[in-house]
Amino acid sequence: MATQTVKWGSLCVAFLLSAAPAVSDELDGKIAYISSPDGDQEIYVMNADGSNQTRLTFNPAADSGPAWSPDGLKIAFTSNRDGNEEIYVMNADGSGQTRLTQNAADDFSPAWSPDGQMIAFTSSRDGKGEIYVMNADGSNATNLTHHPAYDAEPAWSPDGTKIAFHSNRTPDNDIYVMNVDGTGVTQLTTHRAHDHSADWSPDGSKIIFTSFRDSSSNAEIYVMNADGSGQNNLTRRNANDLSPCWSSDGTKIAFHSPRSGRHEVYVMNADGSGQTQLTNTGGGHADWQRIPPVIDVKIDIKLGERPNSINPRSLGRIAVALLTTESFDAATDADANTVRFGIVGTEAAPVHVALDDADMDGDIDLMLHFSTQETGIKCGNTAATLTGETFAGRKIRGTDAINTVGCK
């Protein structure tokens, strides 16, 4: 790790330039799930293709029900490590595990609001299952349903206005939806079989759920429009397919099934095709990380020059200004350790970083210098890209035109 100290006016800033991994173009997000290969139920994460399966919790109690925060940086989950089921939260790497609920009754099935400010959950603190909401720090828990039936498994709509859940208000479990204050409860499914485990598509137009309507002993994954119309079986397998969840872009669905002889996590396309097993040591109750949209940032290569002439054969450096705009503060938002620059935007790490009002507009910008030979720029290229992350973990990307010279 190198330390780069720069001076701007009376401001002296030290940047630690570490060998951070390049920003990936992979936007599928990770999948959190539960597994108990050694008999102890814990929470794991893996890549969307099943690779890099990593254990996050190490507790002799049962940890379950992982739920990603909307920014993809935290995971809420259920654990009975303190004697009964309570809601906990941890960072995406498993650190900072913190208990949120403090009640003698069971609290479980957490679901984040789209803005990350609240968590809905199921609680038996009133003697039966009810849907509660609380602040993301665990404060101000409030009962939304107040119904003598069993209400459970809340799922927040992407626009933050509705919560789907299942209830046995009719003789069987059905999917319902309500406003976030508990009003306007509407029944979406009316089949005599059990329907449960609802999850909204990222665009809010559809809901997937588990149903036993084709056989009392065989659960299938169904999809319907958000108003309950167009209910359709996606899995059509002679095995229980359970707990579906959407990918961040809405093109895939993860679920778990014992079709291989024990419960494993599977993934399929949104139309039910391409069903593929991801785990092979046991897995269930998956939740797919939501990837926030990439922040478009403004960059200026070789500030003040037009065209931005670059000699790919040069042994020198290329100066790139990451500019502060009305919606992005380059000086305080951008994590310089994650910034990369080149044709794809994943090639070169900065060799020099400074704060400066590069475009003389009164705002502090981030000036970065990159070794030309590490950028991958070749004769004939017409644009180069900068990528990175904010300190909050959001991806950033900016592109500027270039004109290659010295190529004859």
Verify that 85 and 226 share a domain, yes or no.
yes
> 65-68: long-range contacts at Cβ-Cβ below 8 A with a sequence spacing of 24 or more?
65/34, 65/108, 65/109, 65/110, 65/285, 66/32, 66/33, 66/34, 66/285, 66/287, 67/32, 67/110, 67/111, 67/112, 67/119, 67/287, 68/29, 68/32, 68/92, 68/112, 68/287, 68/288, 68/289, 68/290
Q: Are residues 129 and 258 in the same domain?
A: yes
User: Which of 14-18, 116-120, 290-294 is predicted least confidently?
Assistant: 14-18
Count of structural domains, the chain: 2
Comparing 217 with 374, the larger pLDDT belongs to: 374
Cis before 258? omega within 30: no
Domain boundary among 258, 288, 318: 288
pTM, two decimal places: 0.77
Is the domain of 326 the same as that of 381?
A: yes
Domain check: are 305 and 365 in the same one? yes
Mean pLDDT of 316-332: 96
**What element of type H or E holds 211?**
strand 206-211
Q: Are residues 38 and 8 in the same domain?
A: no
Residues 58 and 107 in one domain: yes
Do 360 and 240 belong to one domain?
Answer: no
Q: List pLDDT tens digits, range 121-132.
A: 999 999 999 999
Which among 74, 159, 146, 150 is positioned nearest to 108, based on CA atoms?
150
How far is it, in rounded angstroms, from Cα 344 to Cα 342? 5
Residue 292 has pLDDT above 50, yes or no: yes
pLDDT at position 296: 95
Looking at the structure, do residues 282 and 305 belong to the same domain, yes or no? no
**Secondary structure tally for the chain: helices H, strands E:** 1, 36
Is 60 exceeded by the pLDDT of residue 11? no
Q: Given a cut of 50, is residue 182 above it in pLDDT?
A: yes
Contact 109, 152 (CB under 8 A): yes
Question: pLDDT tens digits for 240-260?
Answer: 999 999 999 999 999 999 999
Q: Which domain holds residue 68?
A: 31-288
Q: Are residues 267 and 355 in the same domain?
A: no
- For position 286, what pLDDT does the model report? 96
- Per-residue pLDDT at 66: 98
Quick: pLDDT tens for 188-204: 999 989 999 999 999 99
Looking at residue 19, its pLDDT comes to 39
Look up the CATH number of the domain holding residue 246.
2.120.10.30
What is the residue whose two structure tokens read 């109750």?
285
One-letter amino acid for residue 287 of the chain: D
In this structure, the answer to whether residues 95 and 191 fall within a common structural domain is yes
Average pLDDT for the chain: 91
Average pLDDT for residues 370-388, to the nearest whole number?
96
Sequence-distant (≥ 6) Cβ neighbours of residue 407 within 8 angstroms:
311, 312, 313, 379, 380
Task: Out of 288, 314, 332, pick the residue that ends a domain.
Answer: 288
Instruction: Examine the domain organization and report whether 212 and 361 are in the same domain.
Output: no
Tell whether the model's pLDDT for residue 218 goes beyond 50.
Answer: yes
Structure tokens at 95: 């650190």
Region 301-308 average pLDDT: 85
In this structure, the answer to whether residues 55 and 73 fall within a common structural domain is: yes
From the list 173, 170, 158, the residue with the least C-alpha distance to 207 is 158
3 state SS of 373 = helix
CA distances from 346 to 214, 289, 300, 374, 386 (A): 49, 22, 17, 10, 8
Q: What is the mean pLDDT of residues 381-403?
A: 93
Q: Among 288, 303, 337, which residue terminates a domain?
A: 288
Cα distance between residue 47 and residue 255, in whole Å: 15
CATH number for the domain including 11? 2.60.40
Once rounded to an integer, what is the mean pLDDT over residues 266-293? 94
Express each pLDDT in 61-79 by its tens digit: 999 999 999 989 899 999 9
